[in-house]
Structures are given as C-alpha cells and as structure tokens.
Amino acid sequence: MFTKCIRAANGPKDVGPYSPAIKLSDFVYLSGQLPIDPLTNELVPGGIGQQTHQVMQNILAILEEMGLETRHIVKTTVFLQNMGDFQAMNEVYASYFDEPYPARSCVQVAALPKGAMVEIECLVIDTLKYEQARNTNRKCEKCEGC
C-alpha cells in the first residue's frame, strides 16, 4: 500500500470510517477537522472563535505527529455553517499562519457533523527531506571553501 494513515496521539477520536490524514509520498491530505475536544470527544463550548481555535489545534496535533508545521499547509477549505461567522473565524484562523498564507476556499454549508459551526480540511506538502538536503549541502557562511 502506498498510503499511510496518520492519527494524532493527542487528537480527537474519529467520528466515522475515515482517516484523519492520509500520506502519499510528500502529499498529506487532512480530512475535515471538527472542533472536537480530544479529552471529551465532544464539541467545544462557545462560539465560532472557540470552535475555530479547537479545529486549528486538532490540525496542529496531526501536523506535529509528522514533525510538520502550519507552513507546510498549502491549501485549506473552510466549511462554515453561517457565512456571517466569516470575520470571527478569519481572525482566529489568521493567527495560526504567517505569509505566504495557504491558498483557501471558504463555503457555507447547510449543516456540519455534530452540529459544528466550522470544519477545515487541508492539503499539506511534507518538504522536510528537501529542507534537510538543502541545509546539508549549504556552504559555511563564515568561510569559503568548506
């Protein structure tokens, strides 16, 4: 099999027959992450800000399982139950990224699992081996001829 399932040791339990993330070569596809507290496996209380924060924490847990960071995310899709929550979601979402930001789509949906207000899926590229190779081949900056 060419694919590998990725599950965060400290992430929430799956709510259905799917993998939280699938890795194929350098590509990692994160399933839509819900605002589920990994300790209780229930939706976090509060509004869109708290739910977006928990979704991002669940994404981080999967990335950390692979030694990756949010800078490895190249595309996200945000599903909102109410597009009126866009600004509040966007403020929390933006706090997790630096430029260049991932490409993103955001759509309003009729409903989300468990009654969530937000769900976010990601496409991630694992560039760690390329970064390591580049750093290994880099010449010393203090002298010439290393």
Render pLDDT for 82-105 as a digit per residue (tens, 0 to 9): 999 999 999 999 999 999 999 999
On whether residue 141 sits in a domain, the answer given is no
How many separate domains does the chain show? Answer: 1
On whether residue 138 sits in a domain, the answer given is no
Q: Which of 25-39, 76-90, 125-139 has the lowest mean pLDDT?
A: 125-139
Report the pLDDT value the prediction gives residue 139, as an integer from 0 to 100.
57
On whether residue 133 sits in a domain, the answer given is no
Domain interval for residue 109: 3-126
Confidence label for 145 from pLDDT (cuts 50, 70 and 90)? very low
CATH number at residue 91: 3.30.1330.40
> Across the chain, what does the average pLDDT equal?
93
Report the pLDDT value the prediction gives residue 146, as an integer from 0 to 100.
44
On whether residue 140 sits in a domain, the answer given is no
Angle separating helix axes 86-94 and 48-65, nearest 10 degrees: 40
On whether residue 82 sits in a domain, the answer given is yes
On whether residue 146 sits in a domain, the answer given is no
Q: Is 126 helix (H, G, I), strand (E, B) or coil?
A: coil
Predicted confidence (pLDDT) at residue 136 exceeds the cutoff of 70? yes
Name the percent of the chain lying above pLDDT 90. Answer: 84
CA distances from 5 to 15, 20, 91, 129, 137 (A): 15, 7, 31, 19, 32
- Which residues are designated catalytic? 106
On whether residue 45 sits in a domain, the answer given is yes
On whether residue 111 sits in a domain, the answer given is yes
Hey, which residues does 29 pair with through a beta bridge? 22, 123
Model confidence over 36-46: pLDDT tens digits? 999 999 999 99
